[in-house]
Amino acid sequence: MRKDVRILLVGEPKVGKTSLIMSLVSEEFPDEVPLRAEEITIPADVTPERVPTHIVDYSEAEQTEEQLYQEISKANVICIVYSVNNKKSIEKVRIISADTRVPLILVGNKSDLVEHSSMETILPIMNQYQDIETCVECSAKNLKNISELFYYAQKAVLHPTGPLYCPEEKELKPSCIKALTRIFKISDLDNDGILNDNELNFFQRTCFNTPLAPQALEDVKNVVRRNMTDGVKDNGLTLKGFLFLHTLFIQRGRHETTWTVLRRFGYDDDLELTQEYLFPLIKVPPDCTTELNHNAYLFLQSVFDKHDKDRDCALSPEEVKDLFKVFPYMPWGPDVNNTVCTNENGWITYQGYLSQWTLTTYLDVQRSLEYLGYLGYSIIYEQESQAAAITVTRNKRIDLQKKQTQRSVFRCNVLGARGSGKSGFLQAFLGRNLQRQRRIREDHKSYYAISTTYVYGQEKYLLLHEAMPDFDFLSEADLACDVVCLVYDVNNPRSFEYCAKVYKQCLIDSKTPCVVIAAKSDLHEVRQHYSLSPHDFCRKHKLHPPQPFTCNTTEAPSKDIYTRLTTMAMYPHMAQADLKNSTFWLRASLGATVFAVLGFAMYRALLKQR
């Protein structure tokens, strides 16, 4: 909503523009009227809409035409004043109306001098120009409709008809229908296509800070029932009924009701979601990361449940499309299905869905805020903004000093020569063996994979990122992470050389833990064309021995290595000897198995209760 309103009064000389302003200010008709009144400002606390209002007078006798156009360009609304007893001044209204791009109020002054109304003459002009909001007949002399005139002028700026409604067609404009449809879908908490009494009351309280009494709810539904057959279904309000009510509000001059709803859900005067709504301010210092907090995950779970119609713990393509109907575009491409866990149909599972949100928040928090805005997080959870859904983690250096972390998301960058098995390593983390990986289209490939692991019974997210193999183009982002994987192909004699080169030039002095992965371990291992064997290289630089890995398995590949990576990311300060300890890994892996089984069982139980 605008922070102030600027009203300009124009019209033929002697129609009473200045008298109207002076009568408003002094609440009496002036004995002497100057050629032009000075600009006045009415404070916010004495205006109906609580917005400061500037009223500007224009005098043809004192000002030039250039000054008139300057004032028109600054005005938010123009009151075109005519005298109801002067036909010439009425005709001048037509000329001025054709030359503006802001809301217009037609003001018929001196109604005390005639017994008839000028509306019959004015109506054709109103029908001709869409920018004309309304016409008010008044009298500066006996103060009739003076305050109403300026109230309507304010209202024309703060609650304009133009963006909402087409008078000729007597229906809502497409952009208004689109915005109200999104609002309906957000408010339809169970996604059954109707707003039941609880949802209507939540909507009413959200927008107007007060619930509706049971009788008032019935009255609203009865109004819809009397006017349309499919506006009420199962005693709830359908989308058609919801849109009809807003059409009715506007037709009855209650634009402010619809505008209050639109602005509460983030819309500006052009029915676009505001930048302030979509991108609330959030500060992320260097060496800090961004994660979703508990309330955000609860909200996203409710969104998932709302759209998982068949209760199979996965979103079909149709369910995904339905979920994103409140977005102006489809935010997830086909690569998402190869970034997170899916079921046997290739549909994103509940865990995969939460993982994708976690990934977006970690990599691009502004995008995550935007998405949460489209879904109405701040409205449903009654927060000031969706920034309340984000946790900014503390500086990584503090974690190292304290030898503990509160973070839940850890990044592992996967580096290796072309063809070394990096993509296979990422896909295996999502439970896909080589046979399943071969079905992935090249244009649907993802350079990220994210899922959960369990370390000492704590659920954590591990984010794998496949860095580009061009050594000369490794960026800081390719090296900034919590743990590094250097992948080589045991069957390719030139594969390990890349890993050794990257380690010596970029990682040797880094405090970031590093693991060497001997990929494709089901194939014959050949001697690497490097001065040291992979085992000797690791021994020399005090790294773990190369970890054998293959995704050429009958079942889903083992996840033990991913638990190790997460553990190393969580405890980078631990000595290599501790991390090599077999008991340490046994405890971590056992915790992962137990909690993965328990976690899925608990979710299934919750789903049955719902």
| Nearest residue to 238 (alpha-carbon basis) of 180, 297, 290, 167 | 180
Confirm if 525 and 490 have CB atoms less than 8 A apart: yes
Intrachain domains 171-272 and 402-578 with the same fold: no
Q: What is the mean pLDDT of residues 187-198?
A: 96
Comparing 92-106, 114-128, 227-241, 312-326, the range with the smallest average pLDDT is 92-106
CA 610 to chain centre: 27
pLDDT value at residue 350: 97
- One-letter amino acid identity for 436? R
Record: fold of 5-158 = Rossmann fold (3.40.50)
Q: Which residue has the tokens 């071969």?
A: 438
User: In this model, does residue 602 exceed pLDDT 70?
Assistant: no
Token pair, residue 371, equals: 């998405």
Q: How far apart are CA 412 and CA 478, in angstroms?
A: 10
Taking only the tens place, the pLDDT of each residue in 397-421 is 888 888 888 899 999 999 999 999 9
- One-letter amino acid identity for 177? I
Contacts of 534 (CB under 8 A, 6+ apart): 488, 496, 499, 516, 518, 528, 546
Taking only the tens place, the pLDDT of each residue in 48-77 is 778 899 999 998 888 888 888 899 889 999
User: In this model, does residue 608 exceed pLDDT 80?
Assistant: no
Token pair, residue 198, equals: 């609880």
Give percent of the chain above pLDDT 70. Answer: 91
Record: fold of 402-578 = Rossmann fold (3.40.50)
pLDDT value at residue 447: 95
CA 202 to chain centre: 21
Q: What is the DSSP string of 203-217?
A: HHHHHHSSPPPHHHH
What does pLDDT average to over the chain?
A: 89
CATH second-level architecture of 277-393? Orthogonal Bundle (1.10)
CA 206 to chain centre: 18
User: In this model, does residue 44 exceed pLDDT 90?
Assistant: no
For the chain, domain boundaries? 5-158, 171-272, 277-393, 402-578
User: In this model, does residue 19 exceed pLDDT 80?
Assistant: yes
pLDDT band for position 577 (cuts 50, 70, 90) = very low
CATH superfamily of domain region 171-272: EF-hand (1.10.238.10)
Taking only the tens place, the pLDDT of each residue in 498-551 is 999 999 988 888 889 999 999 999 999 999 999 999 999 999 999 999 999 999
Taking only the tens place, the pLDDT of each residue in 439-496 is 888 889 999 999 999 998 899 999 999 988 776 666 676 678 999 999 999 999 999 9
Judge residue 156's burial from the number of C-beta atoms within 10 Å of its C-beta, 0-12 exposed, 13-18 middle, 19 or more buried.
buried
Q: Work out whether strand 5-11 and strand 53-57 pair parallel, antiparallel, or are unpaired.
A: parallel
Taking only the tens place, the pLDDT of each residue in 265-324 is 999 999 999 999 999 999 999 989 999 999 999 999 999 999 999 999 999 999 999 999
